[in-house]
């Protein structure tokens, strides 16, 4: 018998990136691969998602998987969660990058405005449905936010169905809804070793918010002056991987600088109301986050 010691390398960290087939999501996936992670891309278009998977796997030399799914309705978001649970033996990093900046009010099959679902309810649902995998690994959850949240007005009576829809402000409204719940998740997970932080990656040249017509051409011209997706990916990957931010949770970052949330995102009563509403709209059990009693 060979008595030589056999060394088994630790399994690679597994990272999930929603909206990972283009823009910041693709650039984040590339950086996570470079950081030693296996990556699962979530993309709603199979052909584009597969093209991104092949491109990343070829350049990174690490296994990349694809989950095809749409996050613009509760039913479809739940299907994505189920597919991720089947695909991922573990989740060490979850990056909520998928986002929607709509030019017109579109309601989903439940009568909910699609940006409200994509930007707010879908991350909420994924966090809950994937919680066993997140807590088992002590995962890092990173929410790609937007500095425009400061212009948002979250109205639980009107925003979910787009009664207050505006082609510019609805994006800010729904991003604000999402950001308001980050501290609630930090509280829920702080005894489980899971961290969650939000980051505005900067003004980045992506397809988000593209429009047709003269306004669309003008916007594309302006975007030529904006920074590349790779630049936007850096602060996201930092929160996902860097040791210097390990253990930080419930924080908001403007690029790499931590900032206190603006007063509009620090309304605890509104956050509680949005949390309860999100549980109802997603059909999740209404359970409060765990309460931590510090040992003195």
**Which residues are marked as active site?**
171
Start-end of H helices in the chain: 23-34, 46-60, 74-87, 114-116, 122-129, 131-137, 169-180, 182-189, 213-223, 229-241, 268-282
Distance set, CA 227 to CA 66, 172, 185, 209 (Å): 27, 20, 31, 16
Crossing angle of the two packed helices 122-129 and 74-87, in degrees rounded to 10? 40
- Residue 49 CA to its chain's centroid (Å): 17
The angle formed by the CA atoms of residues 83, 97 and 103, to the nearest 5 degrees, is: 105
Query: Around Cβ 175, how many Cβ atoms within 10 Å?
Result: 29
Residue length of the chain: 296
Q: Are 157 and 109 in contact (CB under 8 A)?
A: no
Distance CA 186, CA 134 (A): 13
């Amino acid at each position: 018998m060979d008595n030589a010691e056999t060394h088994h390398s630790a399994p690679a960290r597994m990272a999930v990136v929603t909206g990972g087939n283009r823009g910041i999501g693709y650039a984040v996936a590339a950086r996570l691969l470079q950081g030693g992670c296996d990556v699962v891309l979530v993309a709603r278009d199979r052909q584009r998602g597969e093209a991104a998977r092949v491109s990343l796997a070829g350049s990174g030399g690490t296994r990349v998987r694809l989950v095809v799914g749409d996050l613009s309705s509760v039913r479809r978001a739940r299907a994505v969660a189920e597919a991720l649970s089947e695909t991922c033996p573990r989740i060490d990093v979850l990056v909520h990058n998928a986002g929607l900046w709509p030019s017109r009010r579109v309601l989903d099959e439940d009568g909910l405005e699609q940006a409200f679902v994509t930007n707010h309810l879908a991350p909420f649902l994924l966090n809950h449905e994937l919680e066993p995998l997140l807590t088992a690994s002590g995962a890092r959850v990173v929410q790609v936010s937007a500095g425009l949240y400061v212009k948002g007005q979250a109205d639980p009576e009107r925003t979910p169905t787009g009664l207050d829809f505006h082609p510019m402000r609805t994006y800010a409204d729904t991003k604000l809804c999402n950001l308001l719940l980050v501290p609630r998740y930090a509280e829920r997970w702080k005894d489980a070793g899971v961290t969650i932080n939000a980051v505005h990656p900067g003004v980045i040249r992506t397809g988000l918010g593209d429009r047709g017509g003269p306004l669309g051409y003008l916007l594309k011209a302006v975007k030529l002056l904006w920074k590349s997706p790779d630049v936007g990916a850096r602060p996201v990957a930092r929160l996902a991987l860097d040791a210097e931010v390990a253990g930080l949770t419930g924080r908001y970052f403007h690029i790499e600088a931590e900032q206190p949330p603006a007063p509009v995102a620090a309304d605890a009563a509104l956050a509680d109301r949005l949390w309860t509403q999100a549980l109802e709209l997603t059909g999740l059990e209404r359970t409060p986050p765990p309460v931590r009693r510090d040992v003195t």
